[in-house]
Amino acid sequence: MTYSQVTIHSINPAIIKRTGLNIIHLHLKNFLSIFLVTFCFVFLVAEQVYAQTGSGYYNPNDETFKLLGLKRAKEEYEKASKDLERVKTLFQEGHKSQRDLDDAQEFYSNKEVNYQQQMLSVIFGSQYVTIRRAVKYSSDKGEKIIRITLANTSSGSAELNKLANIDENLFKTLEPDVINNIYISIKNNDGAIIGQPYEQKIEKLLPNQPKELDFVLLQDLDIVSVCLKYGNNITDEKKIYLQKDVTINKVDIKSDQFSQEVELGKSSSYNLSLELFSGKNDTFKLEVVNLPSQINRYFLNYGTETRLSYFKFTESTSTQKVSLKVFLPDRASDSIVIGQSIKFYVLAIPQNRVDEIKLDLSKQYSEEELINMNIGFIKLDLVPRGTGELLVKAQQLFFSINPGDAVQVPVDLVNKGTRGLDNVQIDVDLPLNWSHSIEPKTINHLKVSEEKRAIITITPGEDVAAGRYEIRVTTKSLSDEQPITGEDKTINVEIKPETNLWGISIIILLILGLVGGMVVFGIKLSRR
């Protein structure tokens, strides 16, 4: 038996039992104390939270059914108001402390704020702005403008007031029928703002009082997005197809190549885009005025190259594309001057007004006259341009000379183009050690159809071998600061071999002696 065993067995069992009961009693007493303290703390915190939040019961459906949430907040606000009045009465009678009064006042304020927040949430949730019209039209300056009509179509305030039974003065102060601070902008498919000004603001939009706003289109489109911002950070963006102003019985004409330079004797095309602004007519006639009669012209259907004078818009499209082709004559005239701009107009006349207008194509119309006709038109510009053409003529291009001789080659230079030539020069590509001279070296100016002669003198080099040599002649000039070259010419020069005079003389004498001997022999033979 160990020491510990002896010690335990030596203790009285009654003492052990009494000591255990005391320990259990002590623990139970401490547990009850801790429980009571914790309960009181939780109760006080809950009361403070209840007072601070101002909500005795939270229903998550209040966020969805805001009108029911408003009615609940109103009931709690009215109850808090009655409680505050009761506490004030008890405070005055001395039954409530200042702290009780402050708590009641704070509780009432929280309920009041919650009630007003719920009311604003319902009011902002019922606000709505409608785009009634979006009309695209063209100004006198050719700008494309959108006129947007906005209307306040918020939910009825009378029904709201009836359901929620809101205080009349408070309800009027909040102005539920008025939408304040509406911001409007126009965007394209990429989200870029294409309206000028970039953004407009409506201070107040009242029911049954629509407002119109004008935006200048920076990008000509038929479909745009209208972006609206208002109320409690409400953002509404709608993609809309723009209407045409049916009160304008016109076709808008535009062209990217409204001014062109065309050479005489050649043709060019103006691509035209036609957009319908009409509610009455869909068939129009195309005409050209102020263009000289020497310039031929006609209209082509874009893509098919089919000639047309009338065109028609279909129900599915309000735009058409055509081309105006012009042909310039080969020569300038009094009405077609090189470098002088010709202003003319393309007109789109409604079919039912062709007989009424009766255009005189020999007349020069002013822009004011065309505006008074109330028709669609565009002003175009044509600048005739000429270019020089250098023709080189040479009567003889083959020469046969003896060694030491020179060759003179006459060359005629003719301007066969439609514009003068400047600084006409002749270059000669010679064999090695040959030389040349040109008179004149440079022709300063050569008018249209004018002809001038230059003399080229070519001298072979010393001790040049007999044979045939090719010499290339080139010409160049300027026409309206543009380089012009003539046709190259090739001169063939044959150098004859040198002749031996002594040898030729001996041969001739031998031939003469032979012939003489034969004659003498023949005479003697005939005498016999």
What are the CA-CA distances from residue 468 to residues 398, 401, 402 (Å)?
10, 10, 12
What are the CA-CA distances from residue 363 to residues 152, 224, 359 (Å)?
54, 42, 8
What pLDDT, on a 0 to 100 scale, did the predictor assign at position 481? 81
What pLDDT, on a 0 to 100 scale, did the predictor assign at position 354? 87
Torsion of CA 67, 68, 73, 75, to 10 degrees: 120
Evaluate if residue 53 carries a pLDDT over 70: no
SS3 292: coil
pLDDT digits (tens, 9 = 90+) for 321-369: 899 999 999 888 888 888 889 999 999 998 888 888 888 888 899 989 9
What pLDDT, on a 0 to 100 scale, did the predictor assign at position 281? 64
pLDDT digits (tens, 9 = 90+) for 409-431: 999 999 988 888 999 999 999 99
| Residue 208 DSSP label | T
More confident residue, 521 or 166: 521
CA dist 177 and 129 (Å) reads 12
Q: What angle do CA 235, 240, 241 make, to 5 degrees?
A: 170
Evaluate if residue 33 carries a pLDDT over 60: no
Please state the pTM of the whole predicted model. Answer: 0.54
CATH match of 129-244 with 3.40.50.300: no
Same fold, 129-244 and 390-495: yes
What pLDDT, on a 0 to 100 scale, did the predictor assign at position 427? 93
CATH superfamily of 250-385: ntegrin, alpha v. Chain A, domain 3 (2.60.40.1510)
CATH superfamily of 390-495: Immunoglobulins (2.60.40.10)
- Mean pLDDT, the chain, rounded, equals 79
Average pLDDT on 259-271 reads 89
pLDDT digits (tens, 9 = 90+) for 270-314: 999 888 876 666 788 999 999 998 999 999 987 777 888 888 887
What pLDDT, on a 0 to 100 scale, did the predictor assign at position 3? 37
CA dist 458 and 410 (Å) reads 11
Average pLDDT on 195-216 reads 91
What pLDDT, on a 0 to 100 scale, did the predictor assign at position 160? 56
Q: 144: pLDDT confidence band, cut at 50, 70 and 90? A: confident
More confident residue, 483 or 68: 483
* CB contact at 8 A, 490 and 471: yes
Sheet of strand 376-385: strand arrangement: 259-263, 376-385, 342-350, 283-289, 310-312
SS3 303: coil
In the chain, what are the domain boundaries? 3-14+18-41, 54-125, 129-244, 250-385, 390-495
CA dist 228 and 200 (Å) reads 10
What is the chain's length? 528
What pLDDT, on a 0 to 100 scale, did the predictor assign at position 1? 40
